Copies of this chain bind each other. A is one copy, B any other.
């Protein structure tokens, strides 16, 4: 039998087929913020019966896309590695590009997701793109299709902002991965810098996690902080007072 390649297209299909089921896709999407969720939570996210969810999770774990953490009578699942997260990102990026806003009933909760959410370990959404834009405009950052890099001025700026880039930077000369946003269709900051930025924003109390969603809440403190540090308006359009500098988010 020569027709079975030892690796390659065969296993490509196997992995992709796992992502190709709507229920599993919803589960993986729910896990994309990096947290560990229980089987029931994932069943809820996928809108299937617990028994169905169990079968799906067994497959995903068997394929090493998820890792399992048994804790009492709960079973916590999480993405097996950043590699898996990046794979999901890249598929979503393609999905976003090739489906040019087919049907657009912009759900109310989508608005929150569109403003700012987590993307595995970093920030995504309008705010994240805005941050990337602001840093680029000031010459702190160069973000291209395939790679990104901080300038020295940018490194100093982010260190002053509270990121500890020194350790990382000694090991790796460049660690700022561009990530295509599926709502904005624009690049934002992933990689180590993106993760650090997200961590710092949560640490400062500018953003808060929500229990039920990947969307993040911008605190009043954050509203002021983003305006002051990045010249960004982090309000939801149509919610509350009209922004003073409306152009800031749109750009």
Q: Which residues of A contact B (CB under 8 A)?
A: 2-22, 24-26, 28-30, 47, 63-65, 80-84, 86-88, 90-99, 103-107, 110, 113, 142, 144-149, 151, 171-177, 180, 182-183, 190-192
Beta-carbon contact of B107 and A5 below 8 Å: yes
* CB-contact partner of A147 in B10, B22, B28, B175, under 8 A: B175
Give min CB distance, A153 to chain B, whole Å: 13
Beta-carbon contact of A94 and B87 below 8 Å: yes
Beta-carbon contact of B147 and A147 below 8 Å: yes
Beta-carbon contact of A7 and B183 below 8 Å: yes
State A88–B90 Cα separation when bound (angstroms).
9
State A16–B87 Cα separation when bound (angstroms).
11
**In the assembly, how many copies of this chain are there?**
2
Given contacts A13-B20, A142-B172, contact A7 B98 (CB under 8 A): no
State A158–B149 Cα separation when bound (angstroms).
20
**Chain B residues, CB < 8 A from A104:** 6
**Chain B residues, CB < 8 A from A94:** 15, 65, 83-84, 87
State A2–B145 Cα separation when bound (angstroms).
34
Q: Which one of A20, A47, A82, A180 has the greatest number of beta carbons of chain B within 10 Å? A: A20
Give min CB distance, A120 to chain B, whole Å: 12
Q: 9 A-B pairs, CB-CB below 8 angstroms? A: A6-B104, A6-B106, A6-B110, A8-B92, A9-B25, A87-B91, A144-B173, A147-B147, A149-B174
